[in-house]
A and B are shown apart, each in its own frame.
Chain A
Amino acid sequence: MAEEVFFRMREIDKIYPLEGEDVHALKKVSLELEEGDYLSVLGPSGSGKTTLMNIIGCLDTPTSGEYILRGRAVEDLDEEELAALRNREIGFIFQNSQLLPRLTARKNVELPLIYAGFGPKERRERAEAMLERVGLKDRMDHLPTQLSGGQQQRVAIARAMICNPAILLADEPTGALDQKTGAQIMQLFRELNEEKHTVIMITHDLKIASNARRIVHIIDGEITEGGLQDA
């Protein structure tokens, strides 16, 4: 049996119809990742990096091309299967953390486990362990509004990791934070990567991007530069 492909994109195209005209958001994007990689996708706004994130995150499917995530061909999946794949293999971290305001930190972290069908006891145990991992042991029953921006983002990271996904997919994770807090979050990502978590960071900020071990540039829907750099 051949070894399972962890992450491979080949010649991905994404074309949107917009006001009667086709917008070519992604052009022949190819990307390959090993488990435990730390990749930054760097590009200005309008470069197609959000489209790329949506496709990596299985929120959207490519117009053409091949995308394999943990051995599964994403372009063939229907809506339900995509949802299941997002649930298990993708850990989203958004710019403004996107926590549900009426749920406590712990309940927010439990959310993906609900959709995966775990019972309350197991959800609670796993959520508590994860919150402890991101350093929020004593903040579990706080509402998002009772937490600082950095703490909120830590809750979001805990939520992203709760199902032990293939990829942590972060979209400008420090965009809403001050420099010091942002640096702490970056430190957390580095630690997680050292624990063999695969991280993809989408950003327009070279300084943030340079936290990764590898950077690809995306401009006008094309990946123009890639390669390893020193961590």
Chain B
Amino acid sequence: MLNAIRKKIVTFREGAGMALDNIRSNRVRSFLTLLGIMIGVMAVITLISTVSGVSGTIASSFTDMGVGTLTVQVTGSDAKTGVTPEDMAVISNLENVDGVVPSVSLNGRVSYGKNVQTGVTVSGKNAYYSDLNKDMIVQGRPLNFIDDDNSSYVCVISQNMIDQFFLGKDPIGETLYVSGLPFTIVGRYKEDSGGGIASIFMGSPDVIIPYTTAMKVNNSNEVTAFTVYLKEGADSAEAKEEIESAMDVLFDFEEDCYKVSSMETIEETMNTMTTMLSSLLAGIASIALLVGGIGIMNMMLTTVTERTTEIGLKKALGAVPGQIQMQFLLESFLLSMIGGLLGVIFGLALSYGLCQALGTHFTLNWGAVALGVGFSAAVGIIFGWAPARKASRLNPIDALRAVT
């Protein structure tokens, strides 16, 4: 019993040594074969790390933005298509609510003098929004409640707009035409740099005007989307219920007039999407691994045929089939593992580079590394099995006769 174990250990160790020798002596062929596995594992690691890095960044910025806010989308009923400023006043007076920011979009054609830009994001906001973002104003003044009340034709503009219209010029007091109407620029704000990728999804406005003015431009006196800011420490679920019952009253208890969603629900949707994306990419990558495995199998079958005499000799010297099988299995396993480890190294390097390029935070995903290493081990064993078995079953007489 003890002897049998010792025999196994000795064969294992010597088998590993000989396997490495053989891999080394067929350098070019071994390299080409393990290239398949390497590329497969590299793809797996890169895709998983990059996708998880990007989605992690998205998720965290959503969370940053979404703490203590609820978004209300209004589809309206036949009788009432949106909410009025008075309705919003009702919502902002609710117990859990600190304030409400309406969002009225104008798809902007913006001009200054002869310079015309289309596709500029113009958004109508209120004084509460200005209060929340007062740190953002770097020049001039923010919009205030007087602007709201008077539906003034004033605006604050982003750095982006400065770059496009007012290079080297003081914009304050200048007149900007939005949808053909003149707006006086009263302030300039810097973009929210912390928003990162989330701001791409959420859209960061270039021009902000009073929402009452925006409604006037749109020829409407109702708002169809607004964000509710909760009081500090307020429970989001409780607040949601409160808002829903207030909205029910406003819409005479008609169904499907609005939807209150928290950032968490948006985040969940995002997570589902990224999970789906990851598994799709992992599926593609595993095809690469499969092809790599077939490459290993091909090489091992060739090797077994080439080394027929060696196998016969070893059997004549007393190697049992298990020892022969072990040696060849070790060879394909090690070959695949070398490919896998190289793939992990290159994959991590590549995903680090990609994360840097995309401006997302790179996190070492141990799951991906384990997956890559595990995959290559499995590929080596699975695809090495048949050739190793073939070697172990060679008849020593035929095998020796192959040369003598």
A59-B396, A59-B397, A83-B315 are known contacts. Are A114 and B320 too (CB-CB below 8 A)? Answer: no
B169 within 8 A of A: no
- On whether the beta carbons of A59 and B317 are closer than 8 Å, the reply is no
Residue with the greatest number of chain B CB neighbours at <10 A, chosen from A60, A79, A98, A112: A98
With beta carbons under 8 angstroms apart, the residue of A57, A98, A114 that contacts B11 is: A114
Over the window 301-343 of chain B, the binary record of Cβ atoms lying under 8 Å from chain A Cβ atoms (1 yes, 0 no) is: 0000000011001111111111100000000000000000000
CB distance from B8 to the nearest CB of A (A): 8
- On whether the beta carbons of B315 and A94 are closer than 8 Å, the reply is no
Residues of B with C-beta under 8 A to A98: 309, 313, 400, 404
Which stretch in A116-124, A133-141, A183-191, A218-226 binds the other chain? A116-124
Over the window 82-114 of chain A, the binary record of Cβ atoms lying under 8 Å from chain B Cβ atoms (1 yes, 0 no) is: 011011101010111010101000000001101
- On whether the beta carbons of A111 and B404 are closer than 8 Å, the reply is no
B114 within 8 A of A: no
- On whether the beta carbons of B397 and A115 are closer than 8 Å, the reply is no
Cα-based distance from A83 to B319 in the complex (angstroms): 6
Cα-based distance from A59 to B400 in the complex (angstroms): 10
- On whether the beta carbons of A79 and B318 are closer than 8 Å, the reply is no
B21 within 8 A of A: yes
Residues of A with C-beta under 8 A to B115: none
A115-B11, A115-B323, A117-B10 are known contacts. Are A94 and B400 too (CB-CB below 8 A)? Answer: yes
A59-B396, A114-B10 are known contacts. Are A86 and B321 too (CB-CB below 8 A)? Answer: no
By DSSP majority rule, is chain B's interface helix, strand, loop, or mixed? helix
B25 within 8 A of A: yes
Over the window 4-41 of chain B, the binary record of Cβ atoms lying under 8 Å from chain A Cβ atoms (1 yes, 0 no) is: 00110011001000000110010000000000000000
B3 within 8 A of A: yes
Residues of B with C-beta under 8 A to A111: 314, 317
- On whether the beta carbons of B10 and A59 are closer than 8 Å, the reply is no
Residues of A with C-beta under 8 A to B400: 59, 94, 98
Output the nearest chain B residue to A96 by Cβ-Cβ distance: B404
Residues of A with C-beta under 8 A to B404: 94-96, 98, 171
Cα-based distance from A116 to B323 in the complex (angstroms): 11
Output the nearest chain A residue to B14 by Cβ-Cβ distance: A114
Residues of A with C-beta under 8 A to B323: 115
Cα-based distance from A163 to B313 in the complex (angstroms): 16
Residues of A with C-beta under 8 A to B319: 83, 87, 115
- On whether the beta carbons of A80 and B397 are closer than 8 Å, the reply is no
Cα-based distance from A112 to B314 in the complex (angstroms): 8
- On whether the beta carbons of B310 and A100 are closer than 8 Å, the reply is yes
- On whether the beta carbons of B21 and A92 are closer than 8 Å, the reply is no
Cα-based distance from A191 to B6 in the complex (angstroms): 35
Cα-based distance from A112 to B257 in the complex (angstroms): 85
A159 within 8 A of B: yes
Output the nearest chain A residue to B3 by Cβ-Cβ distance: A117
A54 within 8 A of B: yes
- On whether the beta carbons of B318 and A116 are closer than 8 Å, the reply is yes
Cα-based distance from A113 to B163 in the complex (angstroms): 81
- On whether the beta carbons of B318 and A88 are closer than 8 Å, the reply is yes
Residues of A with C-beta under 8 A to B309: 98
Residues of A with C-beta under 8 A to B321: 79-80, 83
Q: B348-404: which have CB < 8 Å to A?
A: 396-397, 400, 403-404
Residues of A with C-beta under 8 A to B318: 83-84, 86-88, 112, 115-116, 163
- On whether the beta carbons of A84 and B320 are closer than 8 Å, the reply is yes
- On whether the beta carbons of B320 and A92 are closer than 8 Å, the reply is no
Cα-based distance from A84 to B315 in the complex (angstroms): 10
Output the nearest chain A residue to B4 by Cβ-Cβ distance: A117
Residues of B with C-beta under 8 A to A54: 397
Residues of B with C-beta under 8 A to A159: 317
Cα-based distance from A60 to B323 in the complex (angstroms): 19
Cα-based distance from A171 to B3 in the complex (angstroms): 32
Cα-based distance from A95 to B404 in the complex (angstroms): 8
Cα-based distance from A159 to B317 in the complex (angstroms): 9
CB distance from B139 to the nearest CB of A (A): 77
Cα-based distance from A59 to B6 in the complex (angstroms): 25
Residues of B with C-beta under 8 A to A83: 315, 318-321
CB distance from B397 to the nearest CB of A (A): 5
Cα-based distance from A119 to B6 in the complex (angstroms): 8
- On whether the beta carbons of B25 and A117 are closer than 8 Å, the reply is no
Over the window 40-71 of chain A, the binary record of Cβ atoms lying under 8 Å from chain B Cβ atoms (1 yes, 0 no) is: 00000000000000100101100000000000
Output the nearest chain A residue to B10 by Cβ-Cβ distance: A117
Residues of B with C-beta under 8 A to A96: 403-404
Output the nearest chain A residue to B317 by Cβ-Cβ distance: A112
With beta carbons under 8 angstroms apart, the residue of A60, A80, A87, A119 that contacts B317 is: A87
- On whether the beta carbons of B10 and A100 are closer than 8 Å, the reply is no
Residues of A with C-beta under 8 A to B21: 102
| B residues lining the A interface (CB < 8 Å) | 3, 6-7, 10-11, 14, 21-22, 25, 309-310, 313-323, 396-397, 400, 403-404
Q: List 11 A-B contacts (CB under 8 A).
A: A59-B315, A59-B396, A80-B320, A83-B320, A86-B315, A94-B404, A112-B317, A114-B11, A114-B14, A116-B7, A171-B404
* 4 tightest A-B CB contacts, nearest first: A87-B318, A117-B7, A83-B320, A115-B318
